[in-house]
Structure formats: C-alpha cells, structure tokens
C-alpha cells in the first residue's frame, strides 16, 4: 500500500516545486522602456506643431525637434511615430500613458513645477524668454511696466510660471493663459493689436518675426534657459540614459551645431526692412511667376521654392532689371551663363527662371560626390554666386585648418578669407569677395524657410493626431515708426 509518509513526501516536493515555479515567475522583470521601444520597433514621440518644433511641408515632415529626434530613432534602429499635442498640459498628460508617447520633444524648458510631471534630459538649445510688444506702442523696459497691459501666454508654459511669480510681487499684473493658441498665434495677436504683450522664447521670436513686421522685443525676462527633452516620471532611467548619451554625442560630433545653423543660424539676416519688403512682395509679385518656378523645378528636379528664393535674392522677383556688371533678368544671369543654358532673352521671366534652374542643377552636379545634402544645396548656391573655382579654394582652406571641406558650416567660415591677401595669395583662383556667397546663401535659406512654411498644405489622414497647422499670415501693414534692432 501507498504509505501516508510517502504521500506526504510527494506532496511536500510538489508544493516546493510549485513554490519555486511561482517564485521564478515573480522574478521575471518587466522590460524597461528602452527594451520595449526596441522590441516594438517604434519610438513614439509627442511634440508641438510649430515652425520651431515640427510641421509638414510638401516634402514631408520637418522642423528642428523633428530632425533631432528622427536621428535619435535612427540611432536606436526603430521607426519614429510623431503625434502633436493640443496644448502643453495635454502634452505632459499624454507622456508615458500605455501605448502612448515615451518622449516629449517640444522645445521644453524644465522648471520646478514641470519636474513634478516629467524627467528632463541634458540640454541641447539655449533660449531666452522675451517680452514682445507692438511697434508704435510704448516700449516696456522693466517687469513693472507689464502692469495694466493685456497679456496672453501659452497655458501651462514656463512663461505663465514666470508671470505668476511676478504677480506675487506686483498684483497689478494681469495675464491670460490660453490653450487654444500656438506661438505664431500669440505673435500675430500682438502684431494686430489684439493683445498688448506676450512672452516667447528667443528662438521662436527670431524664426517667426519675418511674418509679423510690427512685432518687437521689449526686453529679456530673466536669464537664458535650456531646452530639454522629457520622459515620464518614475525610476526607469533606461530611455533617459540613452537620450542623454545621444545628445552628448551629437553635441560632440557637430550634428547638433549643424542643425542649429540650419534652423537658427540665419534667422536674423533679413532685418526690419527685408522682412517688411518680403512680406509685400510675397503677395504682390510671387503669384505672377509661381507657375514658371514650378515648371522649371519639375524639369530640373529641385524644389520650386528654392528657385523662388534665389529669384528673390537676385532681383526681388523683377524680370527686367540689369545690374552695373551686366547681369540681367529675374535670375540675374550673365550673358555667358544664359547662352550656355539656352536662354535667348534674359528679360523673359520664364526663360530666366528656366536658365537659373538649369544652372543650379549644373553647379550641383559639378560638386564633389562626398558632399551630401543638405550641404550639397548650400555649396551649389555658393558656387552659383561666386563660382566653383573660388568655392574649391575655400574648401581647401577649410581642410588646411582641420575643418570639414564637405560641410557648409565649416567652409562658410573660410570664404571671407578669399578677400584677404594673406589667404587668397595661397589659393589657385586668387581674390574673391568671399563674404558675398555667405550672405547670398544665408538670405536664400531664410527666404526658402519662409516659403516652405507659408506654402505648406493642411495635414491629411491621421499621421498627426489632433494636430492643426498654424500657417502665419503675412502682415502688409507698414509699421508706424522705425523699429529698434532686435
């Protein structure tokens, strides 16, 4: 017979085995956030829909934050999925939800209050909060001057926190927080006189001021601050550590600086006069020639807005101009260039635009194959202006200085040396007004950025959840007084 002792022994073994199984099961840890991202093959990111963060144009997704976070996703070897928040409160509430975004990349500044909602990465961009007023109105110069003014800021922003602190010291300061607007809306409201003042970070002021010629910076409110990415609160540091390592890497290898240069390094080249004039010509002149730019761009496989930007830089979209040096037409072609590109009449707008497009494509084809986009386009523009020989001289100077001859950020530092004897005497092609192509490229990049933003289409489909593009209007109203410099 089966003894009671043996039965008890078997039961004990079974209980021990079951207990061990349960213990082992309990010891299996849940995957970290970084492991889940890699297992899913998707990095889900939440951001804001604005020119300084993320938007879509006809070529796809773009924006400083998008470019930076897309490279991070590529480093992880995963797909990037972007969604936009209706407002900052929504952004933080969505962060870390099940199957939701694990990272916020939206031009965020950490604060004591926000650190209760999220954890922040190493810094990547320094900005300064600025008080914005309308040209022609009394300029505020101190925080005390904010009292009695109509002020609106983004709801949940660090600017709202700043105003709350100021109000403790000066109860006469009143302000409204709105979750129905973006930065471009606030600037427009100041520009149109709907509100007296707003607070905006310096990078977004610089990017958007050209759309609003009446907008002015009154003064900086406090010290410069750092923008950072954010992840959900908690003890899981896996993703945050990876983010910090990535941001440190792009800071060290120059990628971050190239992005800053691309998006912010040329934002102030227009100045007041240029901004106001461009705003007028954008609506009065461009429509006459847009179809010619589009046709030529299609033929040469370039962006029509880049051609339009070149045309504006060259002639302010005027087809019948002639310079003192004999270049003529909307794209300001020399006689030799016109003949080489098959242009018989340089004063014919369609022919001039077509010739300019062919010449740009030719210049790009002549470049060293090691030069990649977007630098390839900037090099082609410089060659369009100063000639490929002088550009090669500048590249060699860059290489001799230990810089990268295939990066515009480095070569543009060398171009002005071509007008200095101590440098151009060492080059093959000699003297050149090397500062001109630097300004030429900077201006065209700025015009191109503006054209890209104002011609973007409305988003289609569900790629960006709940997102609405904010297309800035261009104010044609001439300001009432000469502005101060920003």
Q: Is 161 an annotated catalytic residue? A: no
* pLDDT score at 324: 64
* pLDDT score at 105: 96
- What is the total residue count of the chain? 486
* pLDDT score at 476: 40
* Tokens 């030529």 -> residue: 296
pTM, two decimals, is 0.64
Which member of 83, 314, 466, 481 is catalytic?
314
Per-residue pLDDT 10s for the chain (486 aa) are: 445 555 556 655 555 655 555 554 445 568 899 999 999 999 999 998 877 888 765 456 778 999 999 999 999 999 999 998 888 889 999 998 888 999 999 999 988 888 888 999 999 999 999 999 999 999 999 999 999 999 999 998 999 999 999 999 999 999 999 988 888 889 989 998 999 999 999 988 887 776 777 899 999 999 999 999 999 998 899 999 999 999 999 999 989 988 887 777 655 566 655 666 787 888 889 999 999 999 999 999 999 999 999 999 999 999 998 876 678 999 999 888 999 999 999 999 999 999 999 999 999 999 999 999 989 999 999 999 888 999 999 999 999 999 999 999 999 999 998 887 788 888 888 878 888 899 899 889 989 988 887 776 533 332 322 233 333 333 344 444 433 332
Cis peptide bond upstream of 201, omega within 30: no
| Rg from Cα positions in the chain | 28
């Amino acid at each position: 017979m089966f003894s009671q002792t043996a039965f008890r022994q078997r039961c004990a073994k079974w209980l021990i085995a079951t207990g061990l199984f349960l213990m082992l099961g309990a010891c299996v840890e849940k995957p970290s956030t970084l492991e889940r991202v890699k297992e899913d093959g998707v990095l889900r990111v939440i951001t804001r829909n604005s020119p300084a963060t993320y938007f879509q144009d006809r070529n796809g997704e773009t924006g400083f934050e998008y470019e930076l976070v897309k490279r991070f996703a590529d480093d992880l070897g995963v797909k990037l999925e972007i969604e936009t928040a209706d407002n900052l409160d929504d952004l933080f509430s969505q962060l870390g939800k099940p199957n939701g975004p694990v990272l916020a990349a939206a031009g965020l500044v950490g604060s004591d209050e926000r650190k209760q909602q999220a954890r922040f990465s190493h810094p990547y961009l320094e900005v300064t909060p600025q008080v914005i007023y309308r040209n022609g109105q009394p300029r505020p110069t101190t925080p005390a001057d904010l009292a009695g003014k109509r002020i609106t800021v983004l709801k949940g922003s660090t600017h709202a926190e700043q105003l709350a602190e100021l109000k403790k010291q000066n109860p006469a300061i009143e302000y409204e927080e709105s979750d129905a607007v973006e930065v471009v809306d606030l600037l427009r409201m100041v520009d149109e006189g709907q509100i007296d003042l707003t607070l905006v970070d310096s990078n977004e002021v610089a990017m958007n001021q050209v759309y609003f010629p009446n907008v002015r910076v009154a003064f900086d409110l406090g010290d410069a601050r750092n923008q950072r990415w954010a992840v959900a609160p908690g003890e899981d540091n896996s993703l945050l550590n990876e983010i910090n390592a990535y941001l440190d890497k792009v800071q060290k290898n120059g990628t971050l600086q190239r992005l800053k240069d691309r998006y912010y390094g040329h934002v102030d080249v227009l100045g007041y006069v240029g901004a106001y004039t461009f705003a007028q010509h954008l609506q009065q002149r461009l429509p006459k020639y847009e179809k010619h730019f589009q046709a030529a761009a299609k033929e040469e496989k370039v962006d029509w807005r880049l051609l339009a930007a070149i045309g504006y830089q060259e002639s302010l979209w005027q087809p019948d101009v002639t310079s003192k040096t004999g270049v003529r037409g909307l794209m300001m072609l020399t006689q030799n260039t016109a003949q080489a590109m098959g242009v018989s009449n340089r004063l014919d707008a369609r022919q001039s635009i077509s010739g300019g497009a062919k010449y740009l494509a030719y210049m790009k084809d002549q470049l060293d194959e090691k030069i990649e986009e977007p630098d390839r386009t900037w090099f082609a523009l410089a060659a369009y202006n100063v000639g490929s020989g002088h550009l090669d001289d500048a590249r060699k100077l860059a290489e001799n200085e230990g810089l990268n001859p295939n990066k515009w950020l480095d070569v543009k530092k060398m171009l002005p040396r071509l007008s200095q004897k101590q440098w151009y005497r060492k080059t093959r092609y000699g003297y050149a007004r090397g500062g001109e192509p630097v300004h030429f490229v900077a201006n065209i990049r700025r015009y191109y950025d503006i054209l890209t933003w104002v011609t973007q289409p409305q988003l289609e489909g569900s790629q960006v959840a709940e997102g609405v593009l904010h297309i800035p209007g261009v104010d044609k109203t001439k300001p009432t007084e000469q502005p101060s410099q920003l």
